[in-house]
Amino acid sequence: MFPNYEDQADYKVPGDDLLQVTGVVPLDEIHRPQQLNEHGYKFLPVVKNGMTTATTIGCVNSFESLVCDYSPYEMSHESIELVIVPYGSRDAFSAKGDSGAAVLARDGRIVGIITCGGGLTNATDATYCTPFCKLEPRIKEVFSGSYLYPIVN
C-alpha cells in the first residue's frame, strides 16, 4: 500500500492490524489522488476483503464509467462506477461472490462498494464499484438515523 518511500510519512500501523473505517473519500479526491506510486505518480491504492478473494490490493482509475441499463419494461437505470484494477499482483482484485464488499483507501475511508467485474484469468481484469460518496446520501435519506461507520474525532 506504500510503494513510494516518501509517501510513508506519518502512517501508523493499527495496533491490532485491522483497518478501521473512518469516513468516506470524496469524489474530488478520487479524481485527484494524492498518494504516490513507485514511480512518483499520483494514484489511489485501495484494499478490500471479499468473500471469494479475501484481502486484495488494487488501484482506482480516477475516471468514472457511466453504466446505463434499459429494461424491457421501459425503465432505465444509470449508475456511476469506478474502475479498480489489481495492483502488485497477477491475481484479480475481485471475483464472483465479492459483490457488496467495501473498498477502502489505505487510511480506512470508504471509496466504494463492489458491484460487478473481476475475473480469474489475468491482471487486466477490472472491478467496478459505486462511489460511496454517491451512495451515502441516499442511504441516510432512506435509513435516517443509521450509522454506517463509527464517528472518530
| Alpha carbon distance 144, 140 (integer Å) | 5
Q: Which fold has domain 19-142?
A: Thrombin, subunit H (2.40.10)
Residue type, 122: N
Rg (CA), the chain: 16
Instruction: Quote the pTM value.
Output: 0.80
Of 14-18, 19-23, 57-61, minimum mean pLDDT range: 14-18
pLDDT tens digits, 106-133: 888 999 999 887 655 544 578 989 999 9
